[in-house]
Structure 1
């Protein structure tokens, strides 16, 4: 019986090692664009393997939200919503195993406490991939919002100089600062050269940016194109409006700064100031003879 137990344990360990390292072996034998992706290349084999398991359990609403996040954050195109969910599952397993192992090693609580700690730690760690995508998307949108007035100025200048809208956009993408907005604009120009109508390409450009300002500009261009209006005055008005909005956002952030500084001042600075002022007074009162 002893040898049978050892054989059963060895078979279980072999199956476990095969399940763990089989995705890595398949990834090493196949050519994948994920091999040159920094830190994610180490977890990509297991993400790809778990994505097939997670795919049937993802609702269409969640799939749409994750797809929008992947598009807004300019994540690689071969990543799908099921890959993000698989990465969340890996983070959950990692957090649960690490927390249970640490508590069992140092505190040794009961089984309910171990399971509760593993569930909490795994849930917190599972939220990190989506939070990273949201932060990356927000930073990218802020960068595009800062570049948008310059793109409008370049486009307005080229249109007033005699170019059509497509030629003005080409000049703006060529001579504009390198950034997320210009890369999306070059992608829209690639769609135009591939045969897509100009307004349809610009609408896709607005969807990829996720900015209401860009969508308003595209709607104005569509209306001007359908009515045969001159683009120069419309572009000039759009440019001035975007710059005014930029100054208003800067003023709003400047007005929010004192409110954001209030909590650190009350919690960190004021107690230290009161301590420095009150300490000599307290010492004198304690040393005085009444």
Structure 2
């Protein structure tokens, strides 16, 4: 019973850690969207500029967490997950789990399992590192998801804007028509709505476009914004600029898809070598190595024994 108690404590601590992280994540998600209206623009004025934010706050801002207390929640979640991971690791070390795994590995014929003993000894420390870095991994995943959604929505948005501009609408009117058909959960539509609010509050178009580029921080979107700023400054036709950007972005997306398809065979080499090759080697050469070890052991006993 005494050997089972630390395991129960470790499991309970892990469950508590996961529940706390889940509530922290849900709270950050609920606070990531800014309120609409002038208050949202005022808050964006205070938070958007990189010079007024730390690198951590700017990283969280680009991932979609745009409240002032996002950094505090992130730091507290990281500290809590690390402390709970340390408690779980201590409970595991005090239990019989490590000894049981050592006995199972030593029972493998040919002393093959002893190679994995360092992994068993260091597994609680690895668990501390993984669980402590879990909030950062979640934010990084959220940032990647946000970039992916923007890159998915941008070609269609550009096509719609170009079509509406060719029909005679201005950029603001075309943007209003496009935003009426966009879901509010998409990050590109949210940033465009903030851009429209800044225009309505009297900010200059070039300044608003530059701020929009900093908020989104996606290379493809930066090229589009640079073209809009250039057209605004030199007085070029908006419809031709949008159509050229839409065609260029479609070509870039096609080239990227082809490059990703060509890179698939190279990326498959790593899981094949790391996951499948050791198992194949152990299954095919394990009995032979075991027989060789037995023959050498018998030869050593017959030659040097007695």
Q: What TM-score do the two structures reach when normalised by structure 1?
A: 0.65
* DSSP-derived class of the 1:149 partner: helix
Deviations 1:171-229 (A, max 9, x none): 12122466221121112112222222222222222212111221222121112111111
**Structure 2 gap ranges (5+):** 1-20, 29-49, 100-121, 285-306
Instruction: Note the residue ranges of structure 1 that are not aligned, 5 or more in a row.
Output: 1-36, 45-59, 110-115, 277-290
Number of aligned residue pairs: 219
Cα RMSD between the aligned structures? 3.5
Pick the aligned partner of 2:95 from 85, 91, 105: 105
Choose from 118, 135, 148 the match for 1:142: 148
CA 1:231–1:275: 2 relative to 1, 3 Å:
same
4+ aligned runs moved over 4 Å, structure 1: 41-44, 116-121, 269-276
1:84 to 53, 74, 80: 74
1:114-263 superposed matches below 5 A: 121-176=127-182, 179-263=186-270
Residue equivalent to 1:268: 276
Distance 2:257 2:97 in 1: 51
- In structure 1, how many angstroms separate the alpha carbons of the residues matched to 2:220 and 2:264? 25
In the alignment, the residues of structure 2 paired with residue 201 and residue 208 of structure 1 have an alpha-carbon distance, to the nearest angstrom, of 10
Report the TM-score when normalising by structure 2. Answer: 0.62
For each residue in 1:235-270, what CA deviation from the matched residue of structure 2 results, as whole angstroms up to 9, or x when unmatched?
111111110111111111111111222344454389
Measured in 2, the distance between the counterparts of 1:155 and 1:220 equals 14
Question: Which structure has more RCO (C-alpha within 8 Å, separation ≥ 6)?
Answer: 2
Q: Which residue is equivalent to 1:39? A: 23
Distance 1:138 1:183, change over 3 A: same
Conserved in 2, the CA contact under 8 Å of 1:92 and 1:121? Answer: no
Deviation, structure 1 residue 94 = 0.8
